[in-house]
């Protein structure tokens, strides 16, 4: 059906719909172009930016070409395009402005792809590619309307064409599709849709990750239950740092166990003082923001987990879980805590960002976090890094949140933590010195 001609225009149905079908629907345009790029050989780690609007950091699509060249993509569709001189002029200007914006955001960018529903001649394509190469880019591709049509009218593109342009498969196309993918479809069915399930879970996560971030939890699971008097042994700090972002910033989440007196009400005694274990949770930004440090206190008699709760709605550098993608993770603990701790877990709302055993980490002394420098005299802090794949050559490896490769596991909040002996909690904001940790 992709080669069926429209009687009035003489165009194929696919070409006609590329001109007008997605008018004003930027979300569908970007998603279709992301799908088309995924069909091209050599591209991996494909990610959309913000198809629903908002700052996109100079690109609509991110990818990696041949496992080495970072590629940014821009999508420019015009409404009811006719390939007039004005249409072509606008498309060329958009190519230049998007390329300029991308290089402003990442001056060492080496790859750029451009999608447009305007049709270019080979000479026009060569002209734009030459312009990009003059600016230092190694890899440039332009998907104009005819190239988009060829991709969508290919066997691999039939599904995208049906999904985004509502063009059903002809009998011949169905035979071609099942001849090419029928065996693979059978494998997917017999393997229990494992790969499909992973992709489906990732799509669900992408949608959920755009929602506002409400809270995070840093859970320090202990090897054995600690009484209130021993809580002061536990101190931990996680720093999520977007080092490669145009505006670098970090979110610091710290938990500390402490023993302190608290007033408790009961049925038998109206109010009495008891020495309880307190779990103090503090969140702050680096560089500091105008908001005060967020602090929470939970009081317990004993615990086998130190659970730090951080209320972060409209606070700090990350307003959604999606903002944390590709953040670097830095973990610090008080040296006295190491022998007491079995594992560290971090949640963002219901999404488990990591869950790592202490035995899978490399401990290094003398690297106290700068944010807690004033505390060095009273506490010996150590840094913890992921063990490398080759301990002799590479003892540690980069710890980075990369959601496309490792989709956060969804865990209902009721299962994050099952409190044992929780008495009550207090939440407040104030200028609490970070060095008090």
State the DSSP code for 93.
H
Separation of alpha carbons 300 and 259, rounded Å: 10
Give residue 230's pLDDT: 77
What are the tokens at 364? Answer: 């290094």
pLDDT for the residue numbered 195: 64
What gap in Å lies between CA 185 and CA 313, rounded to an integer? 43
CB 273 within 8 A of CB 263: yes
Q: Residue-wise pLDDT tens for the chain (437 aa)?
A: 455 555 445 578 999 999 999 998 999 999 999 999 999 999 998 988 765 555 556 789 999 999 889 999 999 999 999 999 999 999 999 999 999 999 999 989 999 999 999 999 999 999 999 999 999 999 999 999 999 999 999 999 999 999 999 999 888 998 888 888 887 777 766 665 566 667 777 778 888 888 899 999 999 888 888 887 777 778 889 999 887 666 677 888 888 877 665 554 444 444 444 556 677 888 888 766 556 677 877 766 667 888 888 888 888 888 899 989 889 999 998 888 888 899 999 999 989 999 999 999 988 876 555 555 445 556 788 888 998 877 666 777 889 898 888 889 888 765 544 444 444 444 444 443 444 44
One DSSP character per residue, 311-379 reads E-TT-SS-SBGGGGTT-EEEEEEEGGGGGGEEEEEEEETTEEEEEEEGGGEEEEES---GGGGGGTTT-
> For the whole model, what pTM was predicted?
0.53
* pLDDT attached to residue 35: 93
Task: Count the neighbouring beta carbons within 10 Å of the beta carbon of residue 344.
Answer: 21
pLDDT score recorded for residue 378: 66
Cα torsion 78, 79, 82, 86: sign: negative
The pLDDT of residue 373: 46
pLDDT given for residue 364 in this prediction = 85
Question: Among all chains, which residue has been given the structure tokens 């991110």?
Answer: 62
pLDDT score recorded for residue 119: 96
pLDDT at 270: 47
Is the CB of residue 279 less than 8 Å from the CB of residue 222? no
């Amino acid at each position: 059906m992709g080669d069926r001609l429209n009687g009035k225009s003489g165009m194929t149905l696919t070409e006609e719909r590329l001109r007008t079908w997605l008018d004003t629907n930027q979300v569908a345009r970007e998603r279709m172009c992301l799908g088309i790029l995924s069909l091209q050989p050599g591209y991996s780690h494909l990610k959309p930016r913000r198809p629903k609007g908002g700052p996109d950091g100079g690109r609509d699509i991110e990818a990696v070409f041949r496992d080495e060249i970072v590629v940014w993509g821009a999508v420019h569709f015009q409404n009811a395009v006719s390939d007039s001189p004005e249409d072509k002029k606008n498309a060329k200007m958009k190519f230049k402005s998007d390329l300029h914006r991308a290089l402003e955001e990442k001056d060492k960018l080496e790859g750029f792809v451009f999608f447009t529903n305007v049709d270019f001649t080979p000479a026009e394509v060569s002209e734009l590619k030459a312009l990009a190469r003059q600016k230092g880019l190694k890899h440039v591709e332009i998907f104009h309307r005819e190239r988009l049509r060829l991709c969508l009218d290919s066997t691999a593109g039939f599904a995208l064409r049906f999904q985004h342009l509502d063009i059903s498969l002809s009998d011949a196309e169905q035979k071609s599709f099942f001849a090419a993918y029928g065996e693979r479809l059978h494998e997917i069915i017999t393997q229990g849709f494992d790969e499909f399930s992973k992709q489906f879970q990732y799509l669900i996560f992408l949608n959920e990750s755009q929602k506002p971030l409400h809270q995070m939890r840093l859970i320090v699971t202990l090897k054995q239950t600690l009484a209130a008097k021993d809580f002061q042994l536990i101190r931990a700090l996680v720093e999520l740092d977007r080092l490669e972002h145009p505006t670098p910033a970090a979110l610091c989440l710290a938990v500390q166990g402490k023993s302190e007196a608290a007033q408790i009400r009961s049925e038998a005694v109206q109010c009495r003082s008891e020495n309880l274990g307190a779990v103090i949770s503090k969140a702050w930004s680096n560089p500091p923001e105008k908001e005060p440090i967020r602090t929470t206190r939970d009081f317990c008699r004993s615990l086998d987990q130190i659970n730090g709760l951080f209320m972060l709605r409209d606070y700090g550098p990350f307003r959604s879980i999606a903002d944390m993608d590709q953040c670097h993770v830095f973990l610090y603990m008080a040296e006295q805590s190491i022998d007491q701790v079995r594992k560290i877990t971090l949640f963002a709302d219901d999404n488990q960002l990591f869950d790592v055993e202490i035995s899978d980490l490399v401990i290094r002394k003398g690297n106290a976090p700068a944010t807690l420098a004033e505390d060095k005299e009273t506490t010996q802090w150590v840094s913890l890094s992921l063990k490398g794949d080759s301990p002799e050559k590479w003892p540690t490896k980069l710890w980075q949140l990369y959601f496309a490769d490792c989709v956060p596991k969804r865990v209902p909040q009721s299962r994050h933590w099952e409190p044992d002996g929780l008495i009550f909690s207090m939440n407040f904001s104030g200028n609490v010195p970070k060095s008090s940790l």
